[in-house]
Amino acid sequence: MKRLATFLILASLCLSSAVPVYARVDNSAKSQQRASRKATRKQQKALNRYMKAQRKAQRKLAKHDRKNTHYPKRSF
């Protein structure tokens, strides 16, 4: 009886340890996809921040040019 119980416990331990290994392999592919999507989103956000800064600099330069435009003085 003790041998049977020991065998059943050993078998259940072997099976329970085999299941997470299979799940880890499946999860690694999913986690790689998730990491890839996250990296893509992060790259896109960085690009958007860069483009926003460029637009702001362009507007600032245009405003500076408008303010520094000197019209010829009137001579009456």
In this predicted structure, what is the pLDDT of residue 24? 55
Sign, CA torsion 26/29/33/35: positive
Residue 4: its pLDDT value, please? 75
Q: Where are the domains of the chain?
A: 32-66
Q: Chunk the chain into consecutive blocks of 10 residues (it has 76) and report each block's average pLDDT, rounded to whole numbers.
A: 77 67 67 94 97 97 87 75
Residue 28 CA: distances (Å) to CA of 6, 15, 41, 42, 60: 34, 20, 20, 20, 47
The verdict on pTM exceeding 0.75 is no
Residue 76 is predicted with a pLDDT of: 72
